[in-house]
Structure 1
């Protein structure tokens, strides 16, 4: 108990007032904001373009202006720094990892990837499909060039491109994922870091040829300040993880409070009139035309919502 209190005091001194937490962390004795009250401290969390959402497959709109994405640097061998951020573990990526295509209005460079999970093998994805929550979710965060930081990109409605991969539970281990779990075990406490040597992003996510099918909508970051500047891509292709690995993930890291890091997902948010699109691989338009039409869709969505 003394050690946990020490970690909490350090965190409060370091992070100041207005701390937020996930529902699993919250208790009546805490002063942190749980997800239902994030908007009190972070007004954007109460906006009309919030994420994650429940994707209702019968209501999505096929969009031929959404061609495959183009990945750069995903096969490069990297030394990746992993950091416990107090609410999740971030895997920092070099700017040589880039993203274009997919109807995105520009070129994007990677910042980091992270995961969202549940507790002891229970579902913990942020996005749901037809009401189903999946075992886990991977987010890869990119910012539009030439922005130099997330703070700069947040002022552009499509300044952030976020790729989301849902996981499915399998009987066999995903051999490439053990290195990720091991790294999390080396960053148990808030602020601790480690390095994963010789990792390829392509070891974790599927090859680009398998990623032509996806959902697209405009939304927000899923943690405070919930900036409404994200072009979301949620892929149909799922990533495998065994039940053993799923439980192991939840046992590696601790929150800034010293508690075990579990159930780190935000509840789904209202769609509030937004349209969710589905890429139409059978009717891909030329890259420039596809980009222009997708930008038009993003702008139209903003106008309809009054932003």
Structure 2
């Protein structure tokens, strides 16, 4: 079934199945080799990647009664989100990265510069359970989307990581809704099919790090209040695959302050056709490589 479905999306998603050598892994993964394999893997990261033991680590638990309003935070401006493009997806062994074109840009939101998009990826749990990296008042969601941008003056993510605010990451939570009918239709991809209008988004802001090794402390994090809907049928695309439980536990704030920007109320969102296409793509990349034979 998935061969015929995915064949419709080849012109939209250029697949690159790149399984990189394991340097680290999540607690839930057992296919990696030492030194990353074993119990309490996440606590061992800092032994091999010193930044992972730093004072500005991500993700965090956001305690809403302690956040502070920051008048310098403003509404975002999303550039290029309405444009159609092709993208590739790489299986990194511990996550999938969807490449984004540099015309997708981010400005406003109290950021010090304009940032250009690099990639987006997802973190999720097992069997539809808790899988987000960030949490709000201790509540975690089934899945979290990260859209990674770098300051436009840098040529690569590696260059941007040398700047304490060189990376801007947008985080969206997914929340399970009622089961929806599956409808697989080929449509060109654009980011407006995934996330709502910028002016309708309230968010939390703090300074943190990458949530994967080398855990570079160079990220301006924006965690949006508005959740994106997903049915349990869509979320369970990975329950029989090794690619589950791919999230890092929350880290200590270590004195950091989380600030908040509140927008005008947004209308409720609906499940979007391209979101279903995205999950079908992930289904084929992780554990269903017969789709490409």
- Class of the TM-score when normalised by the shorter of the 2 chains: 0.7 to 0.9
2:104 to 72, 87, 97: 97
Matches within 5 A, 1:148-163: 148-163=155-170
Matches of 1:175 and 1:90 in 2, distance apart? 24
2:21 to 4, 15, 21: 15
Matches of 2:31 and 2:86 in 1, distance apart? 39
Work out whether 1:261 is the aligned partner of 2:243: yes
Matches of 2:182 and 2:117 in 1, distance apart? 24
1:240 to 226, 229, 235: 229
Q: Residue in 1 aligned with 2:200?
A: 210
RMSD: 2.3
1:273 to 243, 252, 255: 255
**Which stretches in structure 2 are left out of the alignment for 5+ residues?**
1-17, 265-293
Displacement after TM superposition at 1:103 (Å): 0.4
Q: Is the CA contact 2:117–2:150 (under 8 Å) kept in the aligned structure 1?
A: yes
Matches within 5 A, 1:174-193: none
SS at match of 1:163: strand
Asked which structure has the greater RCO (Cα within 8 Å, sep 6+), the reply is 1
Work out whether 1:121 is the aligned partner of 2:121: no
Displacement after TM superposition at 1:83 (Å): 1.3
Q: Is the CA contact 1:61–1:277 (under 8 Å) kept in the aligned structure 2?
A: yes
Matches of 2:49 and 2:239 in 1, distance apart? 27
SS at match of 2:86: strand
Q: Is the CA contact 2:200–2:263 (under 8 Å) kept in the aligned structure 1?
A: no
In 2 relative to 1, CA 29–66 (structure 1 residues): closer, same or farther, beyond 3 Å?
A: closer
Displacement after TM superposition at 1:120 (Å): 1.3
In 2 relative to 1, CA 28–250 (structure 1 residues): closer, same or farther, beyond 3 Å?
A: closer
Q: Residue in 2 aligned with 1:135?
A: 142
Matches of 1:218 and 1:243 in 2, distance apart? 32
Q: Is the CA contact 1:64–1:281 (under 8 Å) kept in the aligned structure 2?
A: no
TM-score in terms of structure 1 length? 0.75
Matches of 2:230 and 2:221 in 1, distance apart? 23
Q: Is the CA contact 1:66–1:280 (under 8 Å) kept in the aligned structure 2?
A: no
Q: Deviations over 1:211-245 (max 9, x none)?
A: 1x100000000000000000000001110000111
Matches of 1:174 and 1:41 in 2, distance apart? 45
Q: Residue in 1 aligned with 2:36?
A: 32
In 2 relative to 1, CA 250–107 (structure 1 residues): closer, same or farther, beyond 3 Å?
A: farther
Displacement after TM superposition at 1:22 (Å): 0.1
Q: Is the CA contact 2:199–2:263 (under 8 Å) kept in the aligned structure 1?
A: no
Deviates more, 1:19-28 or 1:260-269: 19-28
1:52 to 18, 43, 59: 59
Displacement after TM superposition at 1:210 (Å): 1.9
Q: Is the CA contact 1:174–1:241 (under 8 Å) kept in the aligned structure 2?
A: no
In 2 relative to 1, CA 175–148 (structure 1 residues): closer, same or farther, beyond 3 Å?
A: farther
Q: Is the CA contact 1:67–1:102 (under 8 Å) kept in the aligned structure 2?
A: yes
Q: Is the CA contact 1:116–1:265 (under 8 Å) kept in the aligned structure 2?
A: yes
Matches of 2:210 and 2:253 in 1, distance apart? 14
Q: Is the CA contact 2:116–2:149 (under 8 Å) kept in the aligned structure 1?
A: yes
Q: Is the CA contact 1:210–1:237 (under 8 Å) kept in the aligned structure 2?
A: no
Moved over 2 A (4+): 26-31, 172-176
